[in-house]
Amino acid sequence: MTGFDPGDLLAVAREEALIGKAEGGIPIGAALFTIDGELLGRGRNRRVQDGDPSMHAETAAFRDAGRRRHYRDTVMVTTLSPCWYCSGLVRQFAIPHVVIGEARTFSGGHDWLAGHGTRITILDDPACVEAMTEFIAERPDLWFEDIGQ
Amino acid sequence: MTGFDPGDLLAVAREEALIGKAEGGIPIGAALFTIDGELLGRGRNRRVQDGDPSMHAETAAFRDAGRRRHYRDTVMVTTLSPCWYCSGLVRQFAIPHVVIGEARTFSGGHDWLAGHGTRITILDDPACVEAMTEFIAERPDLWFEDIGQ
């Protein structure tokens, strides 16, 4: 048993995504929690805000959590299926569980992670789908830049 | 034909690694070039210096290069085989060529990248092997923290 509700975790990631949207950025948010529900770090995509292409939401949350000896008691939550870059982060640092808002508008490496033993929970959250659908329609240039396509 | 010598590119990554070592950091360096040999960004692992676990050498070089619309004319050089995190970066942004100083002391995702069409050049550079061998022997705690093991 773990001490969190996936929807509560997603609420924090969605809040980050909304802040990012208000800043004119890419509306993807993430957070890192312990499996007991303690918040370790949170963040949002910072490509626009910092001119930094290396800060996807997941890497921003990971950075915000600071240095840790291991991640075996953590869960990453993100509003969108993690791209290969962020999936690589999860695999390298052996984050055991990823909670995903939605994987309809973009599907990254979550199946690959599942195949390597990561627990994947996809919530298929309508608000997450709507936010990304709207963003991709409004700013396709920015979206495709962010995923290198 | 491309306009660079892999050894010249590695010299820049090695210089970054040496600066990192002098700073008390993890001695891994990387740089992003165009295939014509123009330097776009360079960096080194910044876990110790910035307390930032998200800044591996490759992600630091990628960040230093700033925002780009695509990476199809670039080559990443790194002193050490890229971990899964950095391999994911290369795959997501479709960096077509990775030049690696050595893959003896650590082997990350370079075979996976090769299987997905990335050109991989391993130089098996004795100075890179020696620097990492020495670092891992001196600071195993820091090394295993950096790769999440």
Q: What is the mean pLDDT of chain A?
A: 97
Residue of A nearest to B69 (CA): A145
**Closest CA of chain B from A125, distance in Å:** 24
With H, G, I as helix, E, B as strand and everything else as coil, classify residue A67: coil
Name the CA dihedral angle for A66, A69, A75, A80, rounded to a multiple of 10 degrees: 50
pLDDT over 50 (residue A1): no
Taking only the tens place, the pLDDT of each residue in A35-54 is 999 999 999 999 999 999 99
Cα distance between residue A103 and residue A111, in whole Å: 11
| Residue from A119, A108, A92 nearest B91 by CA | A108
ipTM surpassing 0.85: yes
Cα distance between residue A13 and residue A15, in whole Å: 5
| Residue from B62, B122, B64, B123 nearest B90 by CA | B62
Beta carbons of A91 and B84 less than 8 Å apart? yes
pLDDT tens-digit profile, chain B (149 residues): 457 899 999 999 999 999 999 999 999 999 999 999 999 999 999 999 999 999 999 999 999 999 999 999 999 999 999 999 999 999 999 999 999 999 999 999 999 999 999 999 999 999 999 999 999 999 999 999 999 99
The residue of B42, B52, B67, B149 whose CB has the most chain A CBs within 10 angstroms, and thus the best one to mutate to test that interface, is: B67
Beta carbons of B92 and A147 less than 8 Å apart? yes
pLDDT number for residue A3? 75
The residue of B54, B63, B64 whose CB has the most chain A CBs within 10 angstroms, and thus the best one to mutate to test that interface, is: B54
Across the strands, what pairs with B59?
Answer: none
Which residues make Cβ contacts (< 8 Å) with residue B82, sequence separation at least 6? Answer: B58, B76, B89, B90, B98, B100, B108, B109, B110, B113
pLDDT over 70 (residue A25): yes
Mean pLDDT computed over A97-113? 98
**Beta carbons of B129 and B27 less than 8 angstroms apart:** no
Cα distance between residue A55 and residue A47, in whole Å: 6
For residue B140 the two structure tokens come to 């195993």
pLDDT > 70: percent of chain A? 99
Mean pLDDT computed over A101-124? 98
pLDDT number for residue A4? 86
